Structure 1
Amino acid sequence: MVADHGRYAYSAITDRADYHWPGGKRLAVYVGLNLEHFAFGEGLGAELAPGGPQPDVLNYAWRDYGNRVGAWRMRDMFDALDMPVSVLANSAMYDYAPDLMAAFRARGDEVVGHGRTNSERQSTLPVDEEARLIAEATEVLTEAEGVAPRGWLSPWIAESRVTPDLLAAAGYGYTLNWCMDDQPIWMETSAGRLLSIPYPQEVNDIPSIVARKDGAVAFADMIIDNFDEMLDQSVGQPLVMGIALHPYLVGQPYRLRHLRRALTHIAAHRDDIWLTRSGDIHDYCRTKIPDLIA
């Protein structure tokens, strides 16, 4: 027998129950904006160029540009497009850049748990330490926002074998860690059902720009092509399209210009889609159509 995770059973998207998103829409679209802070001189972090001995000033400063400049430019772009955002926030951001977190709070954006810092992986921790990581991050977000986060994305999308169980036990309703579908599905945990909402590993600037070395034009075209194709496909099934963004990448001026082009294309179709937040997708699935989710 092939080892199995035991979280969900196989289901072909063509064989599932049909349903609609609010307003009879068939395609839900959300933006996942990653606001992340990194330790100086240690730990993990995306690299513009192969890092040298620590302290790796080149890559640390490059990532820090996202919080100091890129995210603010993106905030202005989202305002101009009247586009909601799901903010995937390291809890360390509240100490490091509280005014940035306040700026997105003022927009009414959702905050999703995203660990303490992206300098660490929760998958390498013993169970009690992983549970403490989740609890510490959740406490910071809850105190700052006045409401507990409903969703979680692990730093580096790194899970242990018990991460879904720990998230459900901590009160989380959904996870963005699993990228196996274009519809939300229920996952089994020891603490009840956890909703998996599609989070992209293709329409995601880190795999595209950092790993595959795609240019700004190519990444923007990828967003547009993915959206147009999914809008056509959604005639047959209700779908979810996520767009994963990091300000130190797409907040760079030449990339921002092309990202704006792509998001303007999506915004022009707002009457045809449900332009929303991942937490709103969770709420609708859990309260309106729980028995129709695979």
Structure 2
Amino acid sequence: MVLNLLSIKGWHLLKKVFQAILVPTPPEHNPQNALCVRLAAMPNMEFFEYLPESRPTQPDIPHYSRMDYGNRVGFWRMLNVLNKHQVRACCCLNLEILDHFPEIKDAMVAANWDYMAHGLYNSRPIYTYTEEQERAYWQDFITHVQEMTGKRLKGRLGGGAGYTVRTDDLMAEAGCLYHTSWIIDDQPWPINVRGGQKFIYVPYTGQTNDAGMLAWNREADYFLQMIKDQFDTLYREGAENGRVMCLSLHPHNIGRPNAAKHLDEALRYILSHDGVWNTTADDIAEYYIANYYDQVSSWIAERKAQQ
């Protein structure tokens, strides 16, 4: 079957977003002793309101209590495992976590985590914002993270907080470098923005994502096996062409008593291999932009000229 992409609603927007979308991944040669896999742990620190704005008279007890378990109990189990393996994470942050849970904020700061935007609350998406409202949102988010953690916000994950057709443009305008919302590749990828800034996609994952344990009704040890299988493939492929291995974590999932030990084993397994860069999404974005962005953009331009 041949899919006519031009008939898909919004395809003109996708063509604007990506530098090139129907070409193979460019050959990124790995020099001798290079890193095969970039390990990026991305814990989702989320707060779902008891009385969400969309239904202010109807408490959302299931969502609220599940995430509250993560913030009260699961976070600390997850943090202990990450610290044991010296994994410095990049937190997908609901901004109000910093105010509602100062103990969590202090623990993340002490662990020297990085932060990417993931909405104010997981119950308040931004897709209804006007351009000016969203521009102010990004400025406020960046300022608040800087004041509370000392870190400069560089990226985002959409998810429950949503996004608009202007989000990439406004993020780049505000000085951000990347987002992780497109689950399209195992490597970073340049994204067009209207201001011409260097802006990229950093790989996220729907597979090595502990949310799947609930969505697919899987046991925690199945998640461990998925992580090992995915790593083995990326490690083999990465010998020629570096790959990103994202671990998407939610403390209300991976911080459960039956699950945390499997994260411990997964990290032990991954970090027992040579050629693994234990890093963050922020560092991956900066490294890619400094070393590969221009090279890949030129490669894309050459491919387009041949079409």
| TM-score, normalised via structure 1 length | 0.89
C-alpha distance 137-221 of structure 1, shift in aligned 2 (>3 A): same
Gaps of at least 5 residues in structure 1 are: 45-52
Deviation at 1:250, TM superposition (A): 0.9
SS class of match (1:188): coil
1:83-136 CA distance string (max 9 Å, x none): 221111111011111121111211122122222111111123332222233222
Letter of the structure 1 residue corresponding to residue 176 of structure 2: Y
Residue correspondence of structure 1 range 91-130 to structure 2 within 5 A = 91-130=95-134
Q: Which residue of 2 aligns with 1:231?
A: 235
Larger-gyration structure (1/2): 2
Give distance in 2, aligned partners of 1:20 and 1:170: 32
C-alpha distance 22-202 of structure 1, shift in aligned 2 (>3 A): farther
Give distance in 2, aligned partners of 1:136 and 1:155: 19
Give distance in 2, aligned partners of 1:58 and 1:114: 20
Question: Are 2:210 and 1:205 aligned?
Answer: yes
Q: Which residue of 1 aligns with 2:303?
A: none
Task: Give identity over the alignment, percent.
Answer: 28
For the 8 Å contact 1:90–1:137, the answer to whether it is kept is: no
Residue correspondence of structure 1 range 1-294 to structure 2 within 5 A = 1-2=6-7, 3-4=11-12, 5=14, 6-8=16-18, 9-10=20-21, 12-13=23-24, 16-20=26-30, 24-42=34-52, 54-156=58-160, 158-191=162-195, 192-206=197-211, 208-269=212-273, 271-293=274-296
Bigger CA drift: 274-283 or 233-242?
A: 233-242
| TM-score, normalised via structure 2 length | 0.86
For the 8 Å contact 2:30–2:239, the answer to whether it is kept is: no
How many aligned positions are there?
A: 283
Gaps of at least 5 residues in structure 2 are: 1-5, 298-307
- Measured on the aligned residues, the alpha-carbon RMSD in Å equals 2.1
Deviation at 1:292, TM superposition (A): 2.8
C-alpha distance 115-203 of structure 1, shift in aligned 2 (>3 A): same
Letter of the structure 2 residue corresponding to residue 280 of structure 1: D
1:216-252 CA distance string (max 9 Å, x none): 1111111111111111111232111111010011111
Q: Which residue of 1 aligns with 2:301?
A: none
Bigger CA drift: 60-69 or 134-143?
A: 134-143
C-alpha distance 41-157 of structure 1, shift in aligned 2 (>3 A): closer
C-alpha distance 147-84 of structure 1, shift in aligned 2 (>3 A): closer
SS class of match (2:21): coil
For the 8 Å contact 1:151–1:172, the answer to whether it is kept is: yes
Give distance in 2, aligned partners of 1:113 and 1:22: 35
For the 8 Å contact 1:30–1:278, the answer to whether it is kept is: yes
Deviation at 1:38, TM superposition (A): 1.7
